[in-house]
Amino acid sequence: MVINERILQNHYNLSRECGELTRALCEDDDARFLRLDKSRPGSPPFITKYLRDVSPWPLLFSSETRDRFMGIVSEVPSLILRAARRYYEYDPASFRARYPMPDLAYEKLSDTYEQNNLMFRCDFLLVDGNLKLIEMNVGAKCGGWQVHWFWSQLADITRQRAISRNWKLSHANILERYCRYIHRSSQAHVGEAATGNILLTISPYFKDLNLDEEAAAIYDQALAGVPRPGKLLVDVAADDLVINSDGRAEYRGLVLDGILASSELLSMPPELCEAHFKRLVFYPDNALHMLVTDKTAFAILHLAKASGWLDERDARLVEHHVPWSAFLTTDVVEWNGERASALDMALARREALVLKRGLSYGGKEVFVGRFLSDQEWTTVIEQAGATGEWIIQEYCPPDRLYAPNDNCEVTEHDVVWGLFGLGREYGGGFGRLMEPHLGRGVVNAQRGAKMGVILEV
């Protein structure tokens, strides 16, 4: 195959080793030996029946690349909450209408403890090597941790080549870091009354795949040797979860330090948010933290920058790393020297913009203008209406990488990266890879993107 040196350079930008290995694999021009086995001995049922495709192409990060990315994304949750506090300052009723939660929550927008203690996954693109944020996900529902079970196979593939046979490879064990963070944070949150007990709710699908037993074993392994480890309780329902007279959460007679609501099928007691804010239980899926996942936060960040609400450091982060965004309902916006209503700007600049609904997941209700016809674009803009739930955002063409497609051909792929943050600590990460002609510009696993495993070298 003929190697595009610009795309190859995108691999070198991740690490020198990533570039060298990619060149060797491309020159070999035979990806048929690149295979992953979900049924490899020792793989748990939730991996052998994992619904996502995983790419066998190694993604090699240097420690400098990891630290550079994490240094940016770790600042974002706090910045969003601070900007939201200023944005809703003169209209707290709008805040409460959009985010139903206890009155105490609004004041917590200014709480530095809450700002710096989120569990999140930041999704971003690289554009000419520069990080561009496109989505935030918060809480126990963040997916992608499953890639950990494939890292040893990716390491074996890497070591098959002479050039990389002796490289020292590692991988951030997302779930072990997650378990230690949950234990440490929940005990710190509750204080001297901590019991160490954590409740994890999962969907019936994962229950059928024995995730309850596997999760308990992983948790015990991660906390081996830790004083007062407590117990991880796993259930598909929260029927036995109650808030007692002291405001503490109890499950089947056990007082809980933390609750992880990984199942979207369950509704939790409304008192749970208030218990979190009173530091009676650690509940990282609380409604305030979920505000960070609302894509309208990107419009608020740019409004905050334009209004002079941000200090120089925060303004620089928004300018360089947050694609220009605006509420679709904004009367007047300015972008690239143009001045118009957001609606008129959207209709006139289809190829340069993306339309996103604030609260949506899985790549749903995301429309990339250049992949739609004029009529399709006009239709979705008109259907978005004047509800205040939609934003327009600058389209960012992602740096492409080489990877094998379903026919074992090495081709160009668009990539969306996801890094986990545990407070301000790095929790691991992965990539999602998709050929450009698929997905209509939306690179998402639910639309067929392959999960990519990050190895550190």
Q: How far is Cα 416 from Cα 448, in angstroms, rounded to an integer?
A: 13
Q: Bridge partners of 243?
A: 249
Mean pLDDT of 363-370: 91
pLDDT at 268 exceeding the cut of 80: no
Q: What is the pLDDT of residues 284-294, one digit of tens each?
A: 988 777 789 99
Name the band, by pLDDT with cuts 50, 70 and 90, for residue 388: confident
Q: What Rg value do the Cα atoms of the chain yield, rounded?
A: 23
pLDDT at 266 exceeding the cut of 80: no
pLDDT value at position 265? 53
pLDDT value at position 44? 86
Give percent of the chain with pLDDT exceeding 70. Answer: 98
Q: How far is Cα 218 from Cα 248, in angstroms, rounded to an integer?
A: 26
CB 244 within 8 A of CB 250: yes
Helices first, then strands: H and E counts in the chain: 18, 19
pLDDT value at position 264? 64
Q: How far is Cα 337 from Cα 268, in angstroms, rounded to an integer?
A: 47
Classified as helix, coil or strand, 423 is coil
**Residue 240 CA to chain centroid, in angstroms?**
30
Q: How far is Cα 108 from Cα 118, in angstroms, rounded to an integer?
A: 13
How many CB atoms are closer than 10 A to CB 32? 9
Name the band, by pLDDT with cuts 50, 70 and 90, for residue 86: very high
**What class has domain 174-286?**
alpha beta
pTM over 0.85: yes
Q: What does the domain layout of the chain look like in residue ranges?
A: 174-286
Q: What is the pLDDT of residues 288-323, one digit of tens each?
A: 777 899 999 999 999 999 999 999 999 999 999 999
Q: What is the pLDDT of residues 240-251, one digit of tens each?
A: 899 999 999 999
pLDDT value at position 403? 96
pLDDT value at position 447? 87
**Which residues in 95-119 are b (16+ Cβ under 10 Å) and which e?**
beeebebbeebbebbebeebbebbb
CB 94 within 8 A of CB 88: yes
Name the band, by pLDDT with cuts 50, 70 and 90, for residue 154: very high
How confident is the prediction for the chain on average, in pLDDT? 91
pLDDT at 223 exceeding the cut of 60: yes
**Which residues in 210-238 are b (16+ Cβ under 10 Å) and which e?**
ebbebbeebbeebbeeeeebbebbbbbeb
pLDDT at 387 exceeding the cut of 80: no
Q: How far is Cα 413 from Cα 426, in angstroms, rounded to an integer?
A: 26
DSSP letter string, 274-317: HHHHTTSSB-TT-HHHHGGG-THHHHHHHHHHHTT-S-HHHHHH
Q: What is the pLDDT of residues 8-45, one digit of tens each?
A: 999 999 999 999 999 999 988 677 788 899 888 888 88
Closest CA to 114 of 228, 271, 273, 299: 273
Name the band, by pLDDT with cuts 50, 70 and 90, for residue 100: confident
Q: What is the pLDDT of residues 121-153, one digit of tens each?
A: 999 999 999 999 999 999 888 889 999 999 999
pLDDT value at position 81? 93
Query: CA dist 433 to 2, 54, 74, 158, 437, Å?
Result: 20, 9, 23, 18, 12
pLDDT value at position 194? 93
